[in-house]
Chains A and B, each alone.
Chain A
Amino acid sequence: MKKIGRKLFRGGLGQLTIPIIAIALLAVFNLIRDPGFFSIGIAHNSDGNAVLSGNIISIINGASELAILAIGMTLVTAACGGQDISVGAAAAIAGSVFVKVLKSASSVSGGTVLLAFLLSCVVAMLFGAFNGTLVAVFKIQPMIATLILYTCGRSIAYWINGGATPTISNPILSAIGGFIPGIPIPTPVIIVVVMAILFKLLFRFTSLELFTQSVGINGAAARLNGVDPTFIKLLSFVLLGACVSAAGCIGVSRLGLINHETLLLDVEMDAILAVAIGGNSLGGGRFKIIGSILGAYIIQTLTITLYAMKVSSTNVKAYKAIVIVLLVVIGSPVVKQWFTKLMMRLSENRKKVSAKGAEE
């Protein structure tokens, strides 16, 4: 046990130290506050299906969009050393296209939903390619390049919707945003798992992970080694586009309406936060997707914990900020160094004491 503890302080778990400590702290805090916080029950929803319910389920379910976006954001961060701040706006556009296609279809079947999703995917990837071109070809910093879409994205969504917030209700959509009859696990969670596996396979069977890291660490060196940084950067933005459209469509299906102003509001900040909490450097280079996904769940756990403590939804931000600052202060290099020094001094003292004891 002691060994594990020492390992943790020396960063033995690598970049996953902070997220794991954070999750453990949140779990312990919740257990002390309310021992029943983690109980999982089976409830019946309005369709009469037996579904899982409980705080854990609502955390994992609610963080789905964020987790999906965090996957793509990690790639972009690693390849370009900057973040995409337009994901919320792009998700609104993707959601609008999704709804627009479904509305224009005469009858909604599984095929039309798939078609609508694919179309929204194409649109989101095109916007991703736009951002990617600015970043990769014109060498503009990602945050500045995506500021363009951040500024006008939600207005474009409004324009696509024709100045309204159309609602759409359909059993297939409620299955995507809620539960598939007969399966007790929320569908968004299944989608996250599928996406994670897809990315895992992508990394397993291609050299994308290696290439992305090398571009992020030193683009010029990567180029000399035959990796095209322009292509890798562009690809990371296009992949983020796919993630964005998945998140947007889940968000739309969950609510059954598209509201360009409130769909995934401020999600870009949370997604970047998830990447950072997951221990990934925001300056690019080495990354771990699993860290970012953990980061997304930490953020959602924090939010649900605060809701459970009767903090109103508008005030949550202030408390969240305090926890974030605490987390990053613990994770900061200076504090870590200071900690290691302290631990070393303590162990030296102990050695001295034990040596003295042995002499005597």
Chain B
Amino acid sequence: MKNLFKRREPLTDTQLLMTITIGIFCIMYVFAMIFLGGGFLRPQQIFDMLNDNASLIIVSCGLTIVMIGGGIDISVGAVTSFVVMSCAIYLNKGGNIFLSVLLAVGIGLAFGLVQGFLISYLEIQPFIVTLAGMFFARGMTTILSVDPQKVTHKGFLQLHNNKEIKIRWLGHRVPNGNVIPAEMEIGVIIALTVVIFVFLLLKYGRLGRNFYAMGGNQQSALMLGINVKRTRFLSYVICGLLSGISGYVFLMHTAAGNATNAAGMEMNAIASSIIGGTLLTGGVGNVIGTFFGALSLTTIKKIVVSSGLNDPWWQSITTGGMLCFFILLQSVVLGRRSKKKSANNS
């Protein structure tokens, strides 16, 4: 029994940062439940947060992979927006649903392939390449249409309207005695599947371990016989693919294409990854942390709204404050650990 509680080895940086994130998320949520009550006491609140952020979670997973590999992709939000717009227009022209999914995945893959090729095989700085990708995707979105495109495709609307999965036992009772079941969108299931898949890939997959090795130290990874160029290429391809999927999930949530869709999503995704304990230098990070990072971002916004700070600027100011807190905390924790390590070694 004693062995169960005694850890055989200390936590790695990745696990430590992830634990901090999950801990703080729980504290924040419990705080909201106690002091704000209301919506926070219902399970539906969590489902709402998931429903609104399914596409952000998917995008953040892709970005986490790229960041673990030591790169950065700031085109993800723009690609999402481009996918939403092109699928909306394609569906309105009478396309079928299966092909629209293929279109979404195809666009994402295309961006991933081109950017990955430029970054890994032509050795161009990832920031510049994905910045160009972002400009290109945003520009193409407005070239496709400046006006909002509401999807009128019948089959898709059916999918959009009947998309909720009702979970009765997690519902809440309204005063007249009826139970309103908790609702979850299909997009959430896709997002959770993506999270689990990426988690397994990173934890047990050979490719996933290669990402960590490459991000930790590119030179040693090369010495270990890892094909660094191909690994980097694949990280961007996966990220692009996930952006495509995220675009389709976004469309399923809103059922409308708009030129300003997913504005600033790339920065939200980076923030989620960072809060979740992924370091931009690479080699450290976990997709479960990213998932909780995205949820923490929304929770703080919900807390601000329900605590009555109605001025429009408070949401982003508190988000900035929270980011600052997390970043400083990580820096201090990791700094102390590395000091301890060097003290132990000497």
Chain A interface residues (CB < 8 Å from chain B): 83, 134, 138-141, 143-145, 147-156, 158-159, 163, 269, 272-273, 276, 282-283, 312, 314-322, 324-325, 328-329, 331-335
Residue of B312, B313, B332 with most partner-chain A CB within 10 A: B313
Q: Which of B86-94, B98-106, B182-190, B322-330 contacts A (4 or more CB under 8 A)?
A: B322-330
Query: What is the interface of chain B mostly: helix, strand, loop, or mixed?
Result: helix
Contact residue range for chain B? 35 or more
With contacts A315-B139, A317-B138, A318-B140 taken as known, whether A334 is within 8 angstroms of B319 at the C-beta atoms is: no
Extra contacts, 17 of them, besides A138-B327, A152-B316, A276-B127 (Cβ < 8 A), are A144-B280, A147-B323, A151-B271, A151-B319, A152-B321, A155-B317, A159-B311, A312-B142, A315-B142, A317-B138, A318-B136, A318-B138, A318-B142, A321-B134, A321-B135, A328-B128, A334-B123
Contact B124 A329 (CB under 8 A): yes
Contact B139 A319 (CB under 8 A): yes
Contact B143 A272 (CB under 8 A): no
| B146 interface residue (CB < 8 Å to A) | yes
| B109 interface residue (CB < 8 Å to A) | no
Query: What are 27 of the A-B contact pairs (CB < 8 Å)?
Result: A83-B127, A138-B328, A140-B331, A143-B72, A144-B270, A147-B323, A154-B316, A155-B312, A155-B320, A159-B317, A269-B134, A272-B131, A282-B127, A282-B128, A312-B142, A314-B259, A316-B139, A318-B135, A320-B135, A320-B139, A321-B135, A321-B136, A322-B136, A324-B135, A325-B132, A328-B124, A332-B118
Q: Note all chain B residues with C-beta closer than 8 A to A283.
A: 125
Q: Note all chain B residues with C-beta closer than 8 A to A312.
A: 142
Instruction: Give the contacts of B175-215 with A (CB-CB under 8 A).
Output: none
Complex CA gap A324/B136 in Å reads: 10
| B122 interface residue (CB < 8 Å to A) | yes
Q: Shortest CB–CB separation between residue A99 and chain B, in angstroms?
A: 16
Contact B139 A276 (CB under 8 A): no
| B129 interface residue (CB < 8 Å to A) | yes
Contact B146 A314 (CB under 8 A): yes
Q: Shortest CB–CB separation between residue A145 and chain B, in angstroms?
A: 7
Q: Note all chain A residues with C-beta closer than 8 A to B259.
A: 314
Q: Note all chain A residues with C-beta closer than 8 A to B279.
A: 141
Complex CA gap A145/B320 in Å reads: 10
Contact B146 A329 (CB under 8 A): no
With contacts A148-B323, A148-B327, A329-B118 taken as known, whether A317 is within 8 angstroms of B317 at the C-beta atoms is: no
| B31 interface residue (CB < 8 Å to A) | no
Contact B139 A139 (CB under 8 A): no
Instruction: Give the contacts of B264-320 with A (CB-CB under 8 A).
Output: 267, 270-271, 274, 279-281, 311-317, 319-320
Q: Shortest CB–CB separation between residue B111 and chain A, in angstroms?
A: 11
Contact A140 B327 (CB under 8 A): yes
Complex CA gap A240/B136 in Å reads: 28
Contact A325 B129 (CB under 8 A): yes
The chain A residue sitting closest to B125, CB to CB, is: A282
Contact A147 B271 (CB under 8 A): yes
Contact B313 A159 (CB under 8 A): yes
Contact A155 B135 (CB under 8 A): no
Q: Note all chain A residues with C-beta closer than 8 A to B240.
A: none
Complex CA gap A319/B327 in Å reads: 36
Complex CA gap A123/B95 in Å reads: 54
